[in-house]
Amino acid sequence: MTHSLIRKFATAAVAGLLALTPRLAAAQTWATWTGATSGPVNGVLGSTTVTYTGGYNQAYGIGGTDFWSPNGAYTQGGLTAPTNTSFIRMVAPASGTITFGSAVVNPFIAFISVGQTNVPVSYTFSSPFTVVSNNNASCAYWGCGSYSVLGNTLTGSEFSGTVQFIGTFSSISLSNSPEEFWHGFTVGAERVIRPQGDGNPSVVPEPSTYALMAAGLAGLGLVSRRRRRAA
């Protein structure tokens, strides 16, 4: 293989690694909510804040029952389950908006027990989403369940799992119906974008992103040294 072909191969490999980085580095940071029964619910999401405004029944703070365990419904495909017990509880039909203090990349919403076998509950979101983990086979705190998706609407019957929105978001709006006994949700994200002093946003990467970039740059450096030696 000629040196030019080696260099082209290495460059393509590095480009492929960088292109895959967001998906390979899909570690989640999950919100920690402050307990509340009225008004906006405030929380912290990594290096930024998060606020939920709208209808809800109660926001559980730290130290309550861990309804995220067992966590098999939240860890499929290498995902990370919510790492604290706090979440926002719903009972009556409601609508609201999740607002991030700084824009976030590829946010998640994890749900606990949406709907019942004979009372399916639907959530409609302001943006398209993908169900990335569920309790169809990996039962959650209240057992196994099922779900369906139509457009921007998720309908669950005892559904526990995680949905993801691809892109950069400052807010996500949602609404749900009908009434059921209770279910809950929390919010996460892959990365937070923090504004720089000059007004240009700065993406805060995960540690695994740095590792992949370092490996790719090291590969290019090795090819360059070999080429100089051969010359």
Output the pLDDT for position 211. Answer: 45
Output the pLDDT for position 5. Answer: 45
176 lies in the same domain as 218 = no
213 lies in the same domain as 140 = no
Output the pLDDT for position 63. Answer: 77
φ, ψ of residue 149 to 5 degrees: the values are -130, 130
131 lies in the same domain as 224 = no
C-alpha closest to that of 115 among 71, 154, 159: 159
Output the pLDDT for position 213. Answer: 46
Output the pLDDT for position 2. Answer: 53
Domain count across the chain:
2
Low-confidence ranges of the chain (pLDDT < 50): 3, 5-6, 8-25, 198-202, 205-217, 220, 222-223, 231
Output the pLDDT for position 28. Answer: 83
115 lies in the same domain as 173 = yes
SS3 206: coil
21 lies in the same domain as 72 = no
Say if residues 195 and 108 touch (Cβ distance below 8 Å): no
**Could you give the CA distance from residue 174 to residue 189 in angstroms, rounded to a whole number?**
17
Q: Is 52 left (phi over 0), alpha (psi -120 to 50) or beta?
A: beta
Range of the domain at 4: 1-25+205-231
Output the pLDDT for position 1. Answer: 53
**Per-residue pLDDT tens for 151-179?**
999 999 999 999 999 999 999 999 999 99
62 lies in the same domain as 141 = yes
